Amino acid sequence: MSRRRIAIIPARGGSKRIPEKNIIDFCGRPMIAYPLEAARASGLFDTIHVSTESPRIMEVVAELGFPVDFPRPARLADDHAVLMAVLRFVLDSYASRGRTFDQVTLLMATCPLMTATDLAGGVALQDRVDPLSVLGVTPFTTPIQWAFARTGPQGRLQPREPDSFRIRSQDLPGYVHEAGSFTIFSAQRILGDGGPGRQDDFVGYEIPAIRAIDIDTPDDLEMARALHLGLRALAATTP
C-alpha cells in the first residue's frame, strides 16, 4: 500500500532581515514558487499545503496554482512559533476534513535551488529508515576544526582546535550542516507526544553545496541569485 504524503511549506508573513522573504522576487519569480514547483514536479505528494496567516502570501501562491485550504492561526505565526506545532495543526486540520497522511515533508519556502530529485531522494531515504526522520544536509566547505572565535575588543582570533592546522583537510573528519531545504517525518512522530525526537533520531540526506543556500540574510539572497543564474546559463549551453 502506497504511503500518503503531504508537503507542508511554512510561509508566515513576518520577516525581519529580508522583508517579505518568502515571496520576494527571485530571478523573475516569487521565491516560494521554486520549492512549490519542485514538490509538484516530484509527483510524490498527495497534498502540497502552504501554511501561512498572510492574505498576501495566500494570494501569491493561489496565482501559482497552490490555493491554501485553510490559514494558519495568528498564535502560530509570531516570532516564537514552533514548526512542529505548525505541522501538527496542519495534520489535525486535514484530519478534521477526513484526510490523513503517513509521511510529512517540511519544505522550506526559501530553498529555490533545491530540485525534485533532491526531494525524491530524501523521501526514498525516509521510507527506508522509518521511523527515523530525514534532514537535508550539506557539507561544510571548510573544516570546522579550522574555525576561529573573535575575542576581546580587538577581535583577536582564537582557534577552535589549535592543533588542527597541522593536519591536512583531507585527513580531518568531515561534518555536515542543515541545508535549509527539507525535513521528512512520519506523521506518527508529529502527532505523538515526543515531538521531533532526539537529535540523533535523524538521518542526513546530502544535498550538493551548490544547491544548498539557506537564505537568511541579504548576502545569502545575492549568493543564491548568482548561483541560480549561473546554473541556468550552464544548463542552456550544455548539449
Q: Which residue would you say has higher pLDDT here, 197 or 63? A: 63
Instruction: Give the pLDDT confidence score for residue 115 in this predicted structure.
Output: 96
User: What are the tens digits of pLDDT across the range 79-101?
Assistant: 888 999 999 999 999 999 999 99
Average pLDDT over residues 156-163: 92
Q: Which residue would you say has higher pLDDT here, 144 or 198? A: 144
Separation in Å, CA 134 to CA 30, 73, 85, 178, 231: 27, 27, 18, 11, 26
Residue 167 DSSP symbol: S
Structure confidence at residue 37 as a pLDDT band (50, 70, 90): very high
**Distance in Å from the first CA to the final CA of the chain:** 40
Phi, psi of 152 (to 5 degrees): 70, 170
Q: CB neighbours of 191 closer than 8 A, spacing ≥ 6?
A: 88, 91, 92
Contact yes or no for 25/101 (Cβ under 8 A): no
Structure confidence at residue 239 as a pLDDT band (50, 70, 90): confident
Percent over 90 (pLDDT), the chain: 82
* Amino acid (one-letter) located at 205: Y
- d(CA 88, CA 109) in angstroms, rounded, equals 18
Instruction: Give the pLDDT confidence score for residue 194 in this predicted structure.
Output: 56
Residue 50 DSSP symbol: E
Average pLDDT, the chain: 93
Instruction: Give the pLDDT confidence score for residue 228 in this predicted structure.
Output: 93
Average pLDDT over residues 50-71: 97
SS3 171: helix
Q: Which residue would you say has higher pLDDT here, 236 or 145? A: 145
Superfamily holding 5-139+177-237: Spore Coat Polysaccharide Biosynthesis Protein SpsA; Chain A (3.90.550.10)
Structure confidence at residue 43 as a pLDDT band (50, 70, 90): very high
User: What are the tens digits of pLDDT across the range 173-209?
Assistant: 999 999 999 999 999 999 986 555 566 799 999 999 9
pLDDT at residue 168 is higher than 60: yes
Write down the pTM of the prediction: 0.92
SS3 16: coil
pLDDT at residue 104 is higher than 70: yes
Q: Where are the domains of the chain?
A: 5-139+177-237, 141-174
* Amino acid (one-letter) located at 101: F
User: What are the tens digits of pLDDT across the range 12-21?
Assistant: 987 777 888 9
User: What are the tens digits of pLDDT across the range 127-141?
Assistant: 999 999 999 999 998
